[in-house]
């Protein structure tokens, strides 16, 4: 998807109009080039979220990174083109804060990346724990998309970070359900917002971040052994897919879930 022969500095800047493929073909993006404006990235203090922020600013995009983590504002302060907002996206107030901070800024897109795990077999999970995972991983993404969609400029895009776990994992019934919801949201919202705004999902497999570092080593080794590419993925490998789906070169892709999982979903 990404043109690996082209460095990010060589790529056309977002909103610069029709682009040209490596073979010289011109893509006019249906008259809707990727708009300039802010991309909101949630979960921006996490491993994958931060990699997405870094990839987007390297491509010339402005980013508002939102996270529950206290350090988010300081972490993004030195990053040119990015700024941070601390907000709990698990409730309406935190989601409203995002709108307030944006003010009347034009929005170019939204990446719903904030997520949590509370693993366990269904019989061991209480209702509160199940509800929390569904709220943060899926309901928050839907609510933010609803709030921001009217402000996303024509040609903008939404990318939801789902998971390969949506296909099913032992002990992740709540997490897998939440990610399945995100994939359904992606497809339904893509219908609703077309042709103005595209909506896609990226479903990572095992990626080396704090989330997977929290897993027992034995479990991790067992899971990695099932990955055809024979290793865990890197946050940057997710970020490139996300940035491509937000960018002008994927102007005819909407409602899709791209599995970036080293072949684990095959
Ligand atoms: N790491 C993996 O192997 C993997 C695999 C598949 C999918 N994912 C998904 O990718 C996304 C990022 O995961 P990661 O590995 O970077 O995890 P991470 O734990 O490093 O990052 C998640 C971030 O979300 C933030 N967050 C959690 N609850 C929040 C809330 N209520 N409001 C605002 N922010 C909140 C956390 O503070 C954290 O910074 C998640 O949605 C996760 O489900 C990760």
Residue-wise pLDDT for 82-127, tens only, equals: 999 999 999 999 999 999 999 999 999 999 999 999 999 999 999 9
Position 193 confidence tier, pLDDT thresholds 50, 70, 90: very high
In a domain, 22, yes or no: no
| pLDDT confidence of residue 30 | 65
Atom in ligand 1 nearest the alpha carbon of residue 94: 32
The verdict on residue 241 lying in a domain is yes
Provide φ and ψ at 254, rounded to 5°: -150, 150
Helices (H), the chain: 47-58, 72-76, 92-102, 127-134, 140-148, 173-193, 210-213, 217-224, 235-246
| Residue 241 belongs to domain with CATH number | 3.40.50.720
CA of residue 116 to ligand 1 center, whole Å:
5
End-to-end CA distance of the chain: 19
Number of domains in the chain: 1
- Name, in order, each residue with C-beta under 8 angstroms of 110's C-beta and a sequence gap of 6 or more: 39, 40, 42, 144, 145, 148, 152, 158, 159
Write down the pTM of the prediction.
Answer: 0.93
Residues 206/212/215/219 CA torsion (nearest 10 deg): 20
CA atoms of 124 and 201, how far apart (whole Å) = 30
In a domain, 48, yes or no: yes
Atom index in ligand 1 nearest the CA of residue 135 equals 31
Q: For ligand 1, is residue 211 a contact (CB within 6 Å)?
A: yes
Strands 82-86 and 257-260: unpaired
Note the pLDDT tens digit of each residue in 142-179.
999 999 999 999 999 999 999 999 999 899 999 999 99
Which pLDDT value is given to residue 151? 95
Which residue, among 158, 39, 143, has the nearest Cα to 91 in the 3D structure?
Answer: 143
In-domain check, residue 5: no
pLDDT at 23: 82
Q: In the chain, pLDDT over 70 holds for what percent of residues?
A: 90
* pLDDT in the model for residue 209: 95
> Is the pLDDT assigned to residue 195 strictly greater than 90?
yes
- Asked if residue 19 belongs to a domain, the reply is no
Residue in 88, 97, 211, 214 to alter for ligand 1 test, most ligand atoms within 8 A of Cβ: 211
Distance (Å, whole) CA 195 – CA 14: 18
The residue segments making up the domain with residue 180 are: 32-260
Segment 175-192, tens digit of pLDDT: 999 999 999 999 999 999
Q: How far is the CA of 214 from the centre of ligand 1 (A)?
A: 12
The dihedral region occupied by 183, where left means phi > 0, alpha psi between -120 and 50, and beta the remainder, is alpha
- Report the C-alpha gap between 235 and 255 in whole angstroms: 23
Tell me which of 59, 172, 175, 199 is the catalytic residue: 175
Given a cut of 60, whether residue 20 has pLDDT beyond it is: yes
Give, for ligand 1, the residue of 42, 44, 46, 95 to mutate: max count of ligand atoms closer than 8 Å to Cβ: 46
């Amino acid at each position: 998807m990404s043109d690996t022969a082209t460095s990010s500095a060589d790529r056309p800047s977002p909103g610069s109009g029709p682009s040209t493929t490596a073979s010289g073909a011109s893509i006019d993006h249906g008259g809707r080039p990727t708009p300039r404006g802010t991309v909101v990235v949630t979960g921006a203090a996490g491993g994958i979220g931060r990699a997405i922020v870094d990839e987007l600013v390297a491509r010339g995009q402005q980013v508002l990174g939102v996270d529950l983590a206290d350090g988010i504002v300081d972490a993004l302060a030195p990053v040119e083109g990015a700024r941070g907002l601390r907000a709990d996206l698990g409730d309406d107030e935190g989601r409203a804060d995002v709108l307030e901070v944006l003010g009347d800024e034009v929005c170019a897109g939204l990446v719903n990346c904030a997520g949590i795990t509370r693993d366990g077999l269904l019989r061991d999970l209480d209702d509160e724990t199940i509800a929390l995972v569904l709220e943060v991983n899926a309901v928050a993404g839907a609510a933010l998309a609803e709030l921001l969609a009217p402000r996303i400029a024509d040609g903008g895009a939404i990318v939801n970070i789902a998971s390969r776990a949506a296909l099913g994992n032992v002990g992740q019934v709540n997490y897998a359900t939440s990610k399945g919801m995100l994939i359904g949201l992606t497809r339904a919202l893509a219908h609703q917002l077309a042709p103005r705004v595209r909506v896609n999902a990226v479903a990572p497999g095992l990626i080396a971040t704090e989330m997977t570092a929290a897993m027992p080593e034995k479990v991790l080794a067992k899971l990695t052994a099932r990955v055809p590419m024979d290793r865990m993925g890197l946050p940057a490998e997710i970020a490139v897919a996300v940035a491509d789906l937000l960018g002008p070169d994927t102007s005819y892709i909407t409602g899709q879930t791209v599995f970036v999982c080293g072949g684990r979903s095959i």
